[in-house]
């Protein structure tokens, strides 16, 4: 009791101490401007830079966190601005900021302005690849996918091997390929933010412009006449070289019973060999790009 009869009230020190600013969580920051930062960002991994101002009054924060809505993507750091990544392409976001110290985290700031996250495009879907008939070129089909929020400016097809390229709408023509070479192709899409990852690889196509056979030559005999036909060729041979010999080894360097280049798809000769003689033959087709040679045919008369 005190002298005037009133009870003595001891200060509740814990309450008084808790009122000190050093023992409280920080006040919320003031959110600033959110800015889309799309350059080079992969599809569905957009980024935004978000500014904020720490509270002037109250406990000091040791770190700050910016959080997106929707998605809850976050970035933390000691100062403004902070860059939030992982944003979905062509999606609108706002952001809030919080401040943290050893005792906890502030309430969230008000929401920022809205931004739309943009990125490079989604990779195209590869389609069918076909050789351009009679040319060292191939056509590459594809299907465009999401733009990443920015208009696609070019599609590019690339060969493997060789990295020959072509651009344009589907199908893209890729030229400058090498004869009798097997290729696959991929396609990328490019917008103002950069270039997508490559599509899956295409089907395999062998580019051939020199003549080749789809059905074999034939060697027949009627009476004393040997007839050798060219067979069926692709890539339009302009001349056929017919070679007939009496041994397999002679087809390589002669001597020949018959050796002549003509434009006709068949040739005939009179033979004078004895009964039981075996004749060997082959045909070579040639066009402006080069030559293709058949396997040997044989006939015993």
Question: 255-297: per-residue pLDDT in tens?
Answer: 998 888 888 777 777 766 667 788 899 999 999 888 988 888 8
Please check whether residues 20 and 95 belong to one and the same domain. Answer: yes
For residue 228, is pLDDT > 90? no
Please check whether residues 240 and 179 belong to one and the same domain. Answer: no
Please check whether residues 77 and 56 belong to one and the same domain. Answer: yes
Burial of 206 (0-12, 13-18, 19+ CB in 10 A): exposed
For residue 101, is pLDDT > 70? yes
Q: Which two tokens stand for residue 226?
A: 């040997």
Please check whether residues 277 and 228 belong to one and the same domain. Answer: yes
Please check whether residues 176 and 81 belong to one and the same domain. Answer: no
Establish if 181 belongs to a structural domain. Answer: yes
The mean per-residue pLDDT over the stretch 240-268 comes to: 85
Please tell me what DSSP assigns to residue 18: H
Boundary residue ending a domain (117, 142, 170): 117
Please check whether residues 268 and 202 belong to one and the same domain. Answer: no
Residue 78: give the domain boundaries.
Answer: 13-117
Please check whether residues 185 and 243 belong to one and the same domain. Answer: no
Establish if 112 belongs to a structural domain. Answer: yes
Boundary residue ending a domain (207, 222, 256): 207
Q: Which two tokens stand for residue 130?
A: 């076909």
- Cα angle at 161 between 156 and 167, to 5 degrees? 15
Helix (H, G, I), strand (E, B) or coil at 231: coil
Please check whether residues 94 and 185 belong to one and the same domain. Answer: no
- Cα angle at 112 between 108 and 113, to 5 degrees? 165
Establish if 53 belongs to a structural domain. Answer: yes
For 233-269, give one letter per residue: b (16+ CB within 10 A) or e: bbbebeebbbbbbeeeeebeeeebbbeeeeeeeebbb
For residue 130, is pLDDT > 80? yes
Of the candidates 285, 282, 271, 188, the one whose C-alpha atom is nearest the C-alpha of residue 235 is 285
pLDDT tens per residue, range 141-185: 999 999 999 999 999 999 999 999 999 999 999 999 999 999 999
Boundary residue ending a domain (117, 141, 173): 117
pLDDT at position 17 is 34
Establish if 2 belongs to a structural domain. Answer: no
Residue 238 belongs to a domain with what CATH number? 2.60.40.10
Establish if 29 belongs to a structural domain. Answer: yes
Of the candidates 240, 285, 244, 231, the one whose C-alpha atom is nearest the C-alpha of residue 262 is 240
Please check whether residues 55 and 108 belong to one and the same domain. Answer: yes
Establish if 154 belongs to a structural domain. Answer: yes
Establish if 146 belongs to a structural domain. Answer: yes
Q: How far is CA 300 from CA 72, 215, 274, 283, in A?
A: 84, 21, 10, 18
Please check whether residues 93 and 150 belong to one and the same domain. Answer: no
Please check whether residues 192 and 142 belong to one and the same domain. Answer: yes
Establish if 6 belongs to a structural domain. Answer: no
Rounded to whole angstroms, the Cα distance separating 103 from 239 reads 91
For residue 194, is pLDDT > 90? yes
**Number of domains observed in the structure of the chain:** 3
């Amino acid at each position: 009791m005190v002298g005037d009869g009133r009870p003595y009230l001891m200060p509740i020190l814990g309450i008084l101490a808790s009122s000190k600013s050093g023992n409280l969580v920080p006040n919320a920051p003031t959110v600033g401007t959110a800015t889309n930062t799309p350059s080079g960002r992969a599809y569905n991994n957009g980024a935004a830079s978000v500014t904020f101002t720490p509270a002037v009054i109250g406990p000091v924060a040791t770190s700050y966190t910016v959080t997106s809505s929707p998605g809850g993507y976050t970035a933390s750091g000691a100062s403004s601005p902070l860059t939030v990544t992982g944003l979905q392409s062509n999606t609108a976001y706002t952001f809030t900021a919080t401040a943290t110290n050893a005792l906890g985290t502030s309430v969230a700031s008000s929401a920022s302005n809205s931004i739309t996250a943009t990125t490079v495009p989604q990779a195209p879907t590869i389609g069918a690849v076909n050789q351009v008939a009679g040319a060292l070129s191939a056509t590459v089909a594809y299907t465009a996918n999401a733009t990443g929020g920015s208009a696609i400016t070019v599609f590019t097809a690339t060969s493997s091997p060789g990295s020959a390229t072509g651009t344009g709408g589907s199908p893209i023509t890729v030229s400058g390929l090498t004869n009798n070479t097997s290729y696959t192709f991929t396609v990328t899409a490019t917008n103002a933010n950069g270039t997508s990852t490559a599509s899956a690889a295409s089907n395999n196509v062998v580019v051939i412009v020199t003549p080749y056979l789809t059905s074999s030559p034939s060697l027949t005999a009627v009476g004393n006449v040997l007839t050798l036909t060219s067979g069926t060729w692709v890539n339009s041979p302009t001349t056929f070289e017919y070679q007939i010999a009496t041994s397999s080894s002679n087809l390589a360097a002669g001597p020949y019973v018959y050796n002549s280049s003509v434009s006709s798809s068949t040739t005939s000769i009179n033979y004078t060999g004895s009964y039981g003689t075996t004749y060997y033959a082959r045909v070579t087709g040639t066009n402006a790009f080069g030559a293709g040679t058949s396997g040997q045919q044989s006939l015993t008369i």
